Amino acid sequence: MGKTEARKIIIDCDPGHDDAIAILLAGANSGIELVGITTVAGNAEVEKTTVNALKVCEIAGLLDTPVAKGSSQPLVRKRETAADIHGDSGMDGPTLPSPTKTIAAEHAVDFIIEQLLASDGDITLVPVGPLTNIAMAMRKEPLIVPKIREIVLMGGGTFGNWTPAAEFNIFVDAEAAKVVFESGVPLTMFGLDLTHKAQATPEIQERIRKIGNPVSDFVGELLQFFMHTYKEVFGFDGAPVHDACCVMYCIDPSIFTCRKLHVDIETKGEYSYGMTVVDMLGVTGKEPNVNVALDLDQDKFWDLMVDTLSAY
């Protein structure tokens, strides 16, 4: 048997500590071909998340990977950011020089459309922030929808972290999430049920620090800051690497246990706006529309992360 072809992905992100780790994993694993990175407002304003994406590309040596700046506002609602978790810059903690790498000429939405239209239907979209860019691309050019191989997203879950019902990425732009979840594209969802199990404990962080290259040192600093804020805000003992889970799935889906379930997006509820309504018991009788990640093999997950970061 020949070597498996690398999986082509576009990461749509709002770096973000865990977004940065997702980019680094995609940049160093031979199972991934990183077609480009698009940015969106989420953890911080889009100007900040774009600078952060450029900084991550520079430390990773991804100088030829296009970075396209995207939406600065949700489709309908007022923008919200997550400074209490990610700091004012969106990626507080490590100190990195101002990037010399520049952004692509086109808007992220147009970059996504161009790449998909020119593709053989083999590009996976990996949105790990609010879904504004993806929804806008689908609305602007519906011809892209059947050309998307899969959407592997971080968002949602059966409980919330921004409100009691809603996870941050979905809450920030639930109207965009509704467009994406109802698009008919094959969808795999990494919600809080899974990502809270992917916690970089102090022991895991020590393994990463021991790699001893500039990228692993950077990841160590990211995780230290992230662990501190998660301890302060949520009482966690480790740093959940939410967004990295999506890239890990693209590299090796066998790490994760998933179930096909029906998921609706709540956009009208007074207390439940932004909720991913996951039909765990099939009570609605609706056809499953989302592959929902629910568990992971801890040993395989962290071994793969350490191996990938060691490649830098």
Catalytically annotated residues: 14
**3 state DSSP class of 310:** coil
* DSSP code at position 71: -
Structure tokens belonging to residue 73: 């506002």
- Cα dihedral sign for 135, 141, 145, 148? negative
| Nearest Cα to Cα of residue 193 among 263, 287, 288, 266 | 263
Residue 201 near residue 103 (C-beta atoms within 8 A): no
- The set of residues, in sequence order, having a beta carbon less than 8 Å from that of 242 and lying 6+ positions away, is 18, 128, 154, 190, 192, 195, 198
Phi, psi of 34 (to 5 degrees): -85, 100
Separation of CA 181 from chain center: 16
Amino acid at 140: K
Q: How far is Cα 282 from Cα 229, in angstroms, rounded to an integer?
A: 36
- The set of residues, in sequence order, having a beta carbon less than 8 Å from that of 217 and lying 6+ positions away, is 209
Amino acid at 31: G
* DSSP code at position 284: T
* DSSP code at position 106: S
Separation of CA 129 from chain center: 6
Structure tokens belonging to residue 153: 């997203």
| Nearest Cα to Cα of residue 231 among 197, 201, 193 | 201
